[in-house]
């Protein structure tokens, strides 16, 4: 059974600090997705990582993928309150155009 | 910008009633997914369509849930009868290649 594990599940951090969210998965998938979800809202695509060593950055968020370690990280730099949300990583269930298997999510709260 | 449309956005129903949700994918997207997200958890697949055909419905509780995509465009998900445990967000997503785009979701509350 494919498993996607995120940690931490809850993260409270001060504005201006840095932190990393980790996503481990159990398949040999070469693709990994990061989504953001605000309370009561749908999923917003943040990053699509397509190969080993892929690194993408948008604003204060940077995501990377190590397919050999089956690990992705989402690094937050100098956190601001607007980043408060739940972040999900997901991988393809199979190869090709397939459903996603999601982690449980990391609920991030940025406090002043 | 093209978006996935869903309706209704919110639905409150009583236990044992029937409910239906509608999804209109991004134009040209052949693959459509329905996911269920229970509060505090990640979304989980209910059913996947490729055009009008069901590709994967292994996680769909078929005794009470049904899904169709008759013309390979929009899709309907039905629950009959609804149970208390069905309270969740129902998300529709579509894709052309592999990246999935999600609609706003339908928040279902069963009383």
Can you give the residue range of the structural domain that contains B19? 5-96
List chain A residues with CB under 8 Å of B40: 104-105
Residue ranges in chain B assigned as alpha helix (H): none
Total domain count, chain B: 1
Is a pLDDT exceeding 80 seen at residue A95? Answer: no
CB B62 within 8 A of CB B51: no
Is a pLDDT exceeding 90 seen at residue A29? Answer: no
Is a pLDDT exceeding 90 seen at residue B111? Answer: yes
In a domain, B107, yes or no: no
Is a pLDDT exceeding 80 seen at residue A12? Answer: yes
Chain-centre distance for alpha carbon B99: 17
Q: Is A26 left (phi over 0), alpha (psi -120 to 50) or beta?
A: alpha
What tens digit of pLDDT does each residue of B48-106 get? 999 999 999 999 999 999 999 988 899 999 999 999 999 999 999 999 988 899 999 99
In a domain, B87, yes or no: yes
Chain-centre distance for alpha carbon A31: 12
Calpha distance A21→A83 (Å, rounded):
13
Which pairing describes strands B65-68 and B53-56: parallel, antiparallel, or unpaired? unpaired
Tell me the mean pLDDT in the region B35-40. 94
CB contact under 8 A, B33 and A97: no
User: By the CB < 8 Å criterion, does A91 face chain B?
Assistant: no
In a domain, B108, yes or no: no
In a domain, B48, yes or no: yes
Query: Tell me, which fold does domain A4-111 have in CATH?
Result: Immunoglobulin-like (2.60.40)
Is a pLDDT exceeding 90 seen at residue A40? Answer: no
In a domain, B63, yes or no: yes
In a domain, B66, yes or no: yes
In a domain, B33, yes or no: yes
């Amino acid at each position: 059974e494919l498993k996607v594990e995120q940690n931490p599940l809850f993260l409270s951090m001060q504005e201006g600090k840095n932190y990393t969210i980790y996503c481990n998965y159990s398949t040999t998938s070469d693709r990994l997705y990061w989504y953001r979800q605000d309370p009561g809202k749908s999923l917003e695509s943040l990053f699509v990582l397509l190969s080993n060593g892929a690194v993408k950055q948008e604003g204060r968020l940077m995501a990377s993928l190590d397919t050999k370690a089956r690990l992705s990280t989402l690094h937050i730099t100098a956190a601001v309150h607007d980043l408060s949300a739940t972040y999900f990583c997901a991988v393809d269930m199979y190869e090709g155009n397939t459903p996603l298997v999601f982690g449980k999510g990391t609920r991030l709260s940025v406090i002043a | 910008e093209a978006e996935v449309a869903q309706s209704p956005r919110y639905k409150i129903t009583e236990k044992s009633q029937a409910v239906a949700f509608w999804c209109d994918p991004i134009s040209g997207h052949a693959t459509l997914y329905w996911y269920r997200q229970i509060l505090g958890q990640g979304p989980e697949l209910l059913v996947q369509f490729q055009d009008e055909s069901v590709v994967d419905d292994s996680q769909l509780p078929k005794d009470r849930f049904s899904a169709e995509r008759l013309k390979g465009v929009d899709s309907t998900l039905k629950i009959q009868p609804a149970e208390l445990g069905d309270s969740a967000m129902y998300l529709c997503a579509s894709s052309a290649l592999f990246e999935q785009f999600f609609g706003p979701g339908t928040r279902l509350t069963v009383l």
